[in-house]
Structure 1
């Protein structure tokens, strides 16, 4: 993939995690605010954090699975 694609993904991740941190703050969930801010800083596009390709792949999978789990947990609480 071209480098611009990864930059776009990083901007979208920064915006998304910042929004999630804001929403978690409104709901007084301080542990989630901390997690979302940490993820926003990890994926931000302004300063590249060099973790290596293999470690980034692991981080991406863990974050993706964590987000999916949080969606299912939230949906169960709503019903």
Structure 2
């Protein structure tokens, strides 16, 4: 499920580069906040504390209640960076604890 959430969220963020109605950007902020909160929850379940911090930070950045005025240009840059990061994370295989243990046994 996290892969689907990341894919959909990346698509929504890339669509923000187009000239969309203001309501679309509001919807993306709300969906992004919920999606990043979900991803933080899943990362916490997987004991991935760095990801938890990143996803909570992104949830706070994109939340629609107390808007952070960065200007359209900067938001576009952030949308691209976060979208590329989400897509990239789909292809990175996380190291398993067993792999780490096996590697330390060989030292």
Unaligned segments of structure 2, at least 5 residues? 1-19, 96-107
Q: CA RMSD, aligned part only?
A: 1.4
Match of 1:7 among 18, 26, 34: 26
Tell me: higher relative CO, structure 1 or 2? Use CA pairs within 8 A at least 6 residues apart. Answer: 2
Query: What SS does the aligned partner of 2:92 have?
Result: helix
Q: Which consecutive unaligned segments of at least 5 residues does structure 1 have?
A: none
Question: For the pair shown, which has the larger CA radius of gyration, 1 or 2?
Answer: 2
Q: Give the match for residue 46 of structure 2.
A: 27
TM-score of the superposition, structure 1-length normalised? 0.89
* CA shift for structure 1 position 2: 2.0
> TM-score, structure 2 length as denominator?
0.67
* 2:15 matched residue in structure 1: none
Count residues in correspondence.
76
Cα deviation per residue 1:1-60 (whole Å; 9 max; x = unaligned)? 222211111111011000000000000000000000000000001011011111111111
Structure richer in helix, relative to its length: 1
